[in-house]
Amino acid sequence: MSEAAILQVRDLCASYDRSQVLFGISVTAPRRGAVAVLGRNGAGKTTLLKTIVGEVAAGGGHIVFDGYRATRMPTERRVRLGVGYVPQEQGVFGRLSVRENLEVGAAAAGDRKAIDSVLSIFPKLGQRLGQPAATLSGGERKMLAIGRALLSRPKLLLLDEPTEGVWIGVIEEIAERLRALVKEMAIVLVEQHLELALSVAEYAYVLDRGRVALEGPAASIRDDPRLLQYLAP
């Protein structure tokens, strides 16, 4: 495996019961910077992230994370090795306050100082510490979910649609934070917002019905006439 890659996924297959969803996906993420995963609804993007973190079992293929064979590793061990995961839905405890959400995450990570660093990345959360997470705006809730994932200081962050349901004015704010984060870590970014994805990631994979239909540097993917065909509903 190349030294530069934190994640190498090869020929990955995955199924729910008997219905196969991923058919031999190969994806590589460098130690720093983001790769985007694009594709229409149901293409298998969320399933790919869940298989990388271990919530869905790989039915074939290999996952190598930071030099470790992770294909059959329990999720908890992958997280301990440095995989952070922000799911498409939830990612926060709605009844707990912002402060409590961060404290629970920091306690799990055994690092209380990490809260300060999360608040410096997302200062808005600092103004809402006492508020129940369920009452945050969509954008604030996404920031809290990302912040919680950062508490364990992951080497690789798997982000599933961080701007879904977020007001347009806050999307650019999230994009800016992601562009700063990728200087220090690797991100696999699943994102419907094409411009945002290609402004954060250097490389993109386009999934179509559980396969990589198209891949390449962000700049060339943006101009590829096949892109719209794979993203059209």
Cβ atoms of 150 and 120 within 8 Å: the answer is: no
Q: Which is nearer to ligand ATP, 52 or 119 (CB)?
A: 52
Q: How far is the CB of 207 from ligand ATP (least distance, A)?
A: 7
Applying CB under 5 A, the site for Mg ion has a residue count of: 3
Please tell me the distance from the alpha carbon of residue 17 to that of residue 27, in angstroms, as a whole number.
24
Q: Does position 71 bind Mg ion by CB under 5 A?
A: no
Binding track over 84-123 against ligand ATP, x by CB under 6 A: ----x-----------------------------------
Of 6, 7, 21, 201, which one interacts with ligand ATP (CB under 6 A)?
21
Q: Which is nearer to Mg ion, 92 or 125 (CB)?
A: 92
Q: Does position 46 bind ligand ATP by CB under 6 A?
A: yes
CA atoms lying within 13 Å on the CB side of residue 77: 9
Cβ atoms of 207 and 23 within 8 Å: the answer is: no
The strand pairing partners of 60, in sequence order, are 13
Q: Does position 163 bind Mg ion by CB under 5 A?
A: no
Q: How far is the CB of 44 from ligand ATP (least distance, A)?
A: 4
Cβ atoms of 151 and 78 within 8 Å: the answer is: no
The one segment of 17-25, 38-46, 178-186, 212-220 that binds Mg ion by CB under 5 A: 38-46
Report the number of secondary-structure helices (H) and strands (E) in the chain: 10, 10
Please tell me the distance from the alpha carbon of residue 152 to that of residue 102, in angstroms, as a whole number.
11
Pairing type for strands 60-65 and 156-160 reads unpaired
Chain positions contacting Mg ion, by CB under 5 A? 45-46, 88
Chain positions contacting ligand ATP, by CB under 6 A? 16, 21, 39, 41-47, 88
